[in-house]
Amino acid sequence: MYQHINMSYLNEVSGGDISIKKEIIEMFFSQMQETSTLLKENLSNRNYQKLSEVAHTTKSSLRVMGAEDIAKKMEELQFTAAKNESTENYPVLVNYFLENIPLVIQELESEIS
C-alpha cells in the first residue's frame, strides 16, 4: 500500500488504536523537523560526533514508522560518523534523509487523515 513506510509495527504497539497512532505519528513529525535542522547544522559545522548521535536517535524513530530505507542510511551515518570515517559520504546520507523524509511524512499523513 505504501512505498516508504510499513505500519505493521506501529499498528502492533498501538493495538490498532487510531488516537494512539495519531499521537505517535504527530510526535514523529515534530521530531523529524528538529532532526532535519540538527543534521544540517552538525554536517555544516563538521560536528561528526553529534551527527552520529542524531542519526542514532533518528534511526530508531524511523524504524517504528517502518521507514527502513532511511533508517539504514541513518545507521550508516551513525557508525561512520562515530569513527570519523568516509566523511565524503555524510552529505549524501543527510541529503537522502532530507529528500525522503517528506515522502514518509506524506504517507503517514494519509494514514491518520
Pair 55, 75: CB distance under 8 Å: yes
State the DSSP code for 108: H
Q: How high is the pLDDT of residue 16?
A: 86
Domain hosting 22: range is 8-112
Q: Is residue 2 part of a domain?
A: no
Instruction: Name the pTM for this structure.
Output: 0.94
What distances in angstroms separate CA 105 from CA 1, 32, 62, one per listed residue? Answer: 15, 9, 11
Number of domains the chain is built from: 1
| Domain CATH number, residue 15 | 1.20.120
Quickly tell me which residue has 561512520 as its cell: 80
Specify the pLDDT at position 15: 93
Mean pLDDT for the chain overall = 96
Q: Report if residue 67 sits inside a domain.
A: yes
Asked, for residue 61, whether it belongs to a domain, the answer is yes
Is 31 inside a domain boundary?
yes
Quick one: average pLDDT of 95-106?
98
**Domain annotation covers residue 64:** yes
Cα separation, 2 vs 5, in Å, equals 6
Residue 14 lies in a domain: yes
At 35-80, the pLDDT tens digits run 999 999 999 999 999 999 999 999 999 999 999 999 999 999 999 9
Answer whether residue 1 shows pLDDT above 90. Answer: no
